[in-house]
Each structure stands twice: as C-alpha cells, then as structure tokens.
Amino acid sequence: MLIWFLPAFLFFLLIGLPVFFGLLAAPGLLLWLNGQEKDITLLYRNVYNGMDSFPLMAIPFFMLAGEMMNRGGITVRLVEFSQALMGHLRGGLAQVNILSSILFAGLSGSAVADTSALGSMLIPAMEKEGYSRKFAAAITAASSVIGPIIPPSGIMIIYAYVMGESVAALFLAGIVPGILVGVGLMVMVRLMADRYELPPAQRVVLTGTQLGKTEWWVSFLLVRLNVGLLLWAFMPVGAEASAAVQWGLLIGALVIAHFLFIGLRRVVSHDFRMVCKRAMVPLQTPILILGGILAGVFTPTEAAAVAVAYAVFVGFFILRSLSLRDMPQILANAGITSAVVLLLVGAAMAFKTVVSLSHAPETLAGFILNLSENPLILLFLINLLLFIVGMFLDAGPAIIILGPILGPIFTDLGVDPIHFAIIMSVNLTVGLATPPMGLVLFVAAAVSKERVETIAKAILPFLAVEILVIFLITYVPAISMTIPRLTGFAQ
C-alpha cells in the first residue's frame, strides 16, 4: 500500500501543489490510510532533523557570498577580463559571455544569478555589435547552466547532504564537466560565427584606468602568491625535507613568480594588465574556497563562511562598492531564498524515510532491471528520464525527489555514487535552460525582453552541445572522477 505514495506525490506535483507540501502530503496521506499515524510524527521529526545540519549551512553562506559579490560590481570586472582574453575571436562577445559564465560560476553557483547579472550587461552589448537579441539571450541562458556545475554549487551541497556523499568530492568532480560544457559551447559559437558572420569585438575596452592603492597592492600580492604557491606545490621535494628547506623553496617560488610577472609586463599593454588586475580580487574567491577545502584547512561550510568574509572585505575595503545600507536587503534576499531550500531539504529527508519504509527503490530497481541489465543502456534511459524531469522541474527539487530513489539503484549496479551525482546534477542543471519550464529561459526572457518561445528555439544548437556533454560525462567517468581521485576525495 505504501508504495502508492509515489504516484500520489506525482499527482500532487502535476496539479501544482508546491513541492514542499507534496513531499509531506503524499506520504502522510498514505501513512494515515495505512493506519501508521505514529509514523506521521516521524515525518515531522525528520523535517526538523533534516534541517538541523551543519553541512547545510553552506547553502545560505554561498548564496550570501554570491549576492554580495554580485552587488559589489564584480560582474563588470569579470566581463572585461573575459573580453581581454577572448574578445578578439570571431563571435567575440558570445565567447566572452561563455567565459564570463565559467568565471562567474566560481563565485556564485547560481544559473539564475548568472543569467540576470551577465545578461543585463552582455545582451544589450551583443545587440549593439550586431548579434540578434534571441541569439544573445540564448547563449546567455545556455552558458548560465555552468553556474551550478562548477563549484561552489547549491545543488551539489543538497545532493551531498541528502545522499550522504562528500561535498568536497562533488565540488571537485564538477570542475571538468563544467569547463567541458563551456568549451563545447565555445566550439559551437565558433562554428556559428563562420556561418552567421559573427564579428570579433574590441579586446580591451578600458583605457587609461588606474587602480586604487589598496586594490593594486592586494592584486599584486594575490597574483604572486597564487602562482608562487602553485610552483611550490609542484616542486619535487620529499615530505621529509626540513622546514627551513620548505620555506626557502617557497620564497624561491615567490621570487620566480615575481620575475615572471615583471617579464610579462613587457609583452602586454598597460590597459590589458589593468583589466587582469581588476579581475584578480573577485577571482580569488573560488581559489580560496577550493584551496581551503583541498588543503584541509576548512570544511565546505567553513569555506562558505570564509567566502562571505572575503566578499565583505572585497566589497567594503577593496572595491568599496558596498555600503552598510545595502546589507539588510542582501542578507534578507539570501535568507529568504535559503529558507525555501532548507525547508525543501528537510521535507526531502522526511520523504526519504518513507521511501525506505515503502521499499520503493527495490521495487523500482526490479522494474528498471527488467528493462535491461546493461548499465550503459540503463544510464542512457536514466539520462532521458532526468532530461524530461528537468524540463518541468528545477534542479534542486528534482535532486531532492529523485536522488534517494535512483541513487541506490545505480550504486548497486556499480556506478560510482559521485559519478552518478554528477550525471544527475549536470543533466538536471541543463534542464534549467529547456522549455517549457526552464527557469533561466524565463529570466533570460525578462532580461532581454525577448519572447521565451523565441529564445527556446534559438537555444536548440547549444542544448544539443550540452546533451552531448551529458553523454560524454555519463560514459567517460574519468571526466568527473579524475580530480576527486587525484586529490584523495574518491576511490
């Protein structure tokens, strides 16, 4: 009898009941009809226990850091930096749009924020350069899905929590797939640039800019520290080397990094350097987050809090683009948005209890294995299912609902849980840009003032690329698993 909670839930969902209530109403109703009233109390308890979690705190923190960075005017700097690197190519601004999304992904992890922040800046600029509005909106929406794939990522925190996986492992596993989506889109833009004669753009739009003293020194130090530490990390020194040797090598690496940049000064123009320096401070955020987690200094939650502190430091003391007056609104936005997600996760944990009580995964596993016993075919079918679900439901709720049901089945079939998490996350994230319910399509339509249907048609070539990448990720586990394995976060 209890297995009927799934169709009941699906019915509630399809008639439009908010997912939070559906996750509780369907199992609650079935438990009541089954005479298991006491277990309804268990549902409530699990909502509370599901929310009372330290790892989940990373969600409001990353949202807050992203919101502050965004309000602090970093979007302009990232776009200028991307333009300095890729603007001169054919289809320059479209390439800039994609690269900006990749960089933005390391700061915010939200496709919606990406579309709205980059779209409001780049869509009018692209139109001015002769791109059609629908193309500009489509590439903005298509590239924004990189946001939740490259860390930090809200949906990966949710998946990790609901499924008991390591947040750090999922973050690391998302890096290459995210970049791959970006590279795929860049190749498609390049092909379209030849066909539709998409123009290159001016490479450096900012001339004669000087940085403030604080920002100049901070970026001066950051760039040398990053490159110096990278050089030091790759130096062939055994762990048994004394502290004095280690320090000596570190200082040596910093000196090499310094002279490297002195040498580079002669190669690039002053304006180009200024654009790069202006992007240095915001681009430190993902390095701080991932570096801290990888070095074992922070947990992902602590890294998220440090990201907030860094955003405060950048916004108030370096860029000086934030004021205390902005803070209540920023905090309220981050709080309200996270509250909805946290409630959903709590309800998902309650739902998960009923999933196990009902033996639904076993029943569904039997059904799925009846279709085929070949994991490759099953992965193909599951990708189809996820893609269809993604067309109607946002990635977060879809992960919350499907993760506990599908995850154990594929783990039993021998698919690595982290690999499956990435397949699911990337597929459902791409669903954010698919009609009829793609969230970012609506945001792109609002930002560009173009009709959703028109953007939905223009986005098709880019969706084809993203589907190709999903299958690549599915059938080549090394794409997602190499970094977590190399860093010891996966086996």
Partner 1 sequence: MGGLLSVLAPIGFVNEFALRIGRAIGVVAIAVMVLAILIQVFFRYVLNNALPWPDEAARFCMLWMTGLMAPTAFRRGGFVAIDMFGRSLPSIPGQILSLFLLVISLLVLVVAIGIGWGEVTGFGGKFTTASLYLPTSLSFDDWFRIPRSWMMASLLVGVILLTSVNIELILRGIVTLMGGSDRLRPIDDVEMLGSE
Q: Which of residues 281-340 bind partner 1 (CB under 8 A)?
A: 297-298, 301-302, 305-306, 308-309, 328, 331-340
Please say whether the dihedral angle defined by the alpha carbons of residues 84, 196, 146 and 294, taken in this order, is positive or negative: negative
Overall residue count recorded for the chain in this entry: 491
Exposure string for 319-341, b = 16+ CB within 10 A, e = fewer? bebbeeebeeebeeebeebbeeb
> Which among 487, 489, 476, 469 has a CA at the least distance from the CA of 149?
469
Asked if 418 contacts 165 with a C-beta cutoff of 8 angstroms, the reply is: yes
Q: Whole-number minimum distance, CB 190 to partner 1, in Å?
A: 28
- Pick from 359, 254, 333, 477: nearest CA to 6: 359
Compute the distance between CA of residue 387 and CA of residue 389 in angstroms, rounded to an integer.
5
CB of 276 to partner 1, least distance (A): 29
Using rule CB under 8 A, residue 435 touches partner 1: no
Q: What is the signed CA dihedral for 138, 140, 143, 149, rounded to 10 degrees?
A: -120
Location of structure tokens 């936005």: 333
- Comparing CA positions, the residue from 68, 71, 144, 158 lying closest to residue 109 is 144
Nearer to partner 1, 249 or 452 (CB): 452
- Does 230 contact partner 1 by CB under 8 A? no
- d(CA 383, CA 387) in angstroms, rounded, equals 6
Alpha-carbon distances of 314 from 62, 100, 151, 311, rounded to whole Å = 15, 19, 20, 5
> At closest approach, how far in Å is the CB of 115 from partner 1?
10
Give the Å distances, CA to CA, from 396 to 153, 162, 425, 431.
11, 11, 9, 11
The stretch near partner 1 (CB under 8 A) out of 261-269, 276-284, 429-437, 457-465 is 429-437
The answer to whether 110 and 117 have CB atoms below 8 angstroms apart is no
- Given 222, 227, 360, 437, the residue binding partner 1 (CB under 8 A): 437
Identity of the residue, 397 or 407, whose beta carbon is nearer to partner 1 in the bound complex:
397
Q: Cβ closer to partner 1: 257 or 469?
A: 469
Is there binding between residue 452 and partner 1 (CB under 8 A)?
Answer: no
Of 44 and 259, the one with the shorter C-beta distance to partner 1 is: 44
Tell me the window of 135-143, 153-161, 270-278, 458-466 that interacts with partner 1 (CB under 8 A): 153-161
Q: Which is nearer to partner 1, 199 or 335 (CB)?
A: 335
Q: Among residues 394 and 450, whose Cβ is nearest to partner 1?
A: 394
- CB of residue 420 to partner 1, shortest distance in Å: 19
Q: Which is nearer to partner 1, 238 or 296 (CB)?
A: 296
**By rule CB under 8 A, what string of x and - marks binding of each residue 81-120 to partner 1?**
-----------------------------xxxx--x----
Residue 93 CB, shortest distance to partner 1, in Å, is 25
C-alpha–C-alpha distance, residues 75 and 176, integer Å: 23
Q: Where are the alpha helices (DSSP H) in 15-73?
A: 19-33, 37-51, 58-71
Query: Contact letters (x/-) for partner 1, 7-36, by CB under 8 A?
Result: -----xxxxxxxxxx--xx--x--------
Shortest distance in whole angstroms from residue 38 CB to partner 1: 10
- Using CB under 8 A, pick the residue from 80, 165, 394, 450 that binds partner 1: 394
User: Interaction with partner 1 in 128-147: which residues (CB under 8 A)?
Assistant: 147
